[in-house]
Amino acid sequence: MILLDIVTIPKDDAVAFTFFTGYMAMMAASVFFFFERTQVSDKWKTSLLISGLITFIAAVHYFYMRDYYMATGENPTALRYIDWTLTVPLMCVEFYLLTKAAGAKKALLWKLIIASVWMLVFGYIGEAFNPEGGSTSHSVIYGVLSTIGYLYILYAAWMGEVAQLAKDSNNESIQRSVRILAWFVLVGWAIYPIGYMCMPGGWLNTGLGWESSSVDLFYNIADAVNKIGFGLVVYSLAISETAKAKAAA
C-alpha cells in the first residue's frame, strides 16, 4: 500500500490560502486568454498569447511556491524572483505590442525588458544575499539600484516613449488601455518595494518592525491582481478593436 502525505491548509493561515487561490485564479485566467484568442483579429492574437503566458508561468510557480511555503512556512524568495524575472518583462512587452501600430520600435521593447530585468536582478541581490541579521546599507544600496529600473518603466508609461506613442496613435481605446496599465505599474507594483523594505535590514523592518513574513499575503494578492488585470485590459482592448474592424468591414 502506498501512503500519501496530504497537505492541508490551516483554517487560520491566510497566506497558504492565497497561495492556492492565486494558483487557481491565474491558471483559470490562462485558459480564458488562450481560448479567447480565437475571438480577436490576427493583430491582437500575440497580445492575448502573451497575457496567457504571463498568468500560466505565474500559476506554475505558485503551484511550487504553495508547496514550499506549506513545507517550510517561509517566503519562497528564489521562486518568486524566477517568476517575476519571466513575467514582468512579458508585462512590459504588452506596452510595446499596444503601441506597435503607432510606430513603436524594437529598441523600445529592449529598453523596457532591460529595465525590468535590471530592477529584478538588483532586487534579488538585495533581498536574497543580505547578510545574516539584515544589513540596512546592503538593503538600501541594492534597493536604490533596483528602483532605477522601476522608475524608467514608470516614466516611459506615464510621460515617456510609451505614453507619447499611445497619444500619436489617435486611438482613444489604446490611449485608455495604456493609461490603465500605467496605473497598474504605479499603484499595483508599489506593493513589491514595500515587501522589499520589510525584510531584515529594510527601512520598514528596522523603523516600524514590519516582518517580511507578513508581506507574503500582499505579494500573493498583488501578483494575481496585477497579472490577471494586465491581461484583462489587453483582452478588453482586443475585443473592442476587433468589433470596430468588423463593423467597418
Model confidence pLDDT, tens digit, residues 96-151? 999 987 888 999 999 999 999 999 999 999 888 877 656 778 888 988 999 999 99
Mention every residue, 6+ apart, whose C-beta is less than 8 A from residue 127: 77, 81, 142, 196, 199
pLDDT computed for residue 202 by the predictor:
56
131 DSSP assignment? P
Nearest-angstrom CA–CA distance, 249 and 246 = 5
Q: Is residue 30 part of a domain?
A: yes
Q: Name the least confident of 5-19, 95-109, 184-198.
A: 5-19
Model confidence pLDDT, tens digit, residues 232-245? 999 999 999 999 88
Task: Count the domains in the chain.
Answer: 1
> 161-166 long-range contacts, Cβ below 8 Å, gap at least 24?
161/104, 161/108, 161/111, 162/95, 162/99, 162/104, 162/108, 162/112, 165/99, 165/102, 165/103, 165/104, 165/108, 166/98, 166/99, 166/102
Q: Is residue 19 part of a domain?
A: yes
- Which among 3, 47, 4, 53 is positioned nearest to 30, based on CA atoms? 53
Name the percent of the chain in helix, strand, coil, to the closest 5: 80, 0, 20
Q: Is residue 188 part of a domain?
A: yes
CATH label of the domain that carries residue 214 = 1.20.1070.10
Q: Look up the domain containing 26 and give its range.
A: 14-244
pTM of the model: 0.89
Mention every residue, 6+ apart, whose C-beta is less than 8 A from residue 66: 16, 19, 20, 23
On the question of pLDDT at 9 being above 80, the answer is no
Model confidence pLDDT, tens digit, residues 192-231? 877 777 765 555 555 555 555 567 887 898 899 999 999 9
Where does residue 84 fall: left (phi above 0), alpha (psi -120 to 50 degrees), or beta otherwise? alpha
Q: Which residues of 163-194 are buried (b: 16+ CB within 10 A; e: fewer)?
A: bebbeebebeebbebbebbbebbeebbebbbe
Q: Is residue 249 part of a domain?
A: no
Place of cell 512579458: 90
**Taking each helix axis from N to C terminus, what angle separates 42-72 and 216-248, rounded to the nearest 10 degrees?**
170
Q: Is residue 2 part of a domain?
A: no
Q: Is residue 4 part of a domain?
A: no
Average pLDDT, the chain: 87
Q: Is residue 88 part of a domain?
A: yes
Q: Is residue 7 part of a domain?
A: no
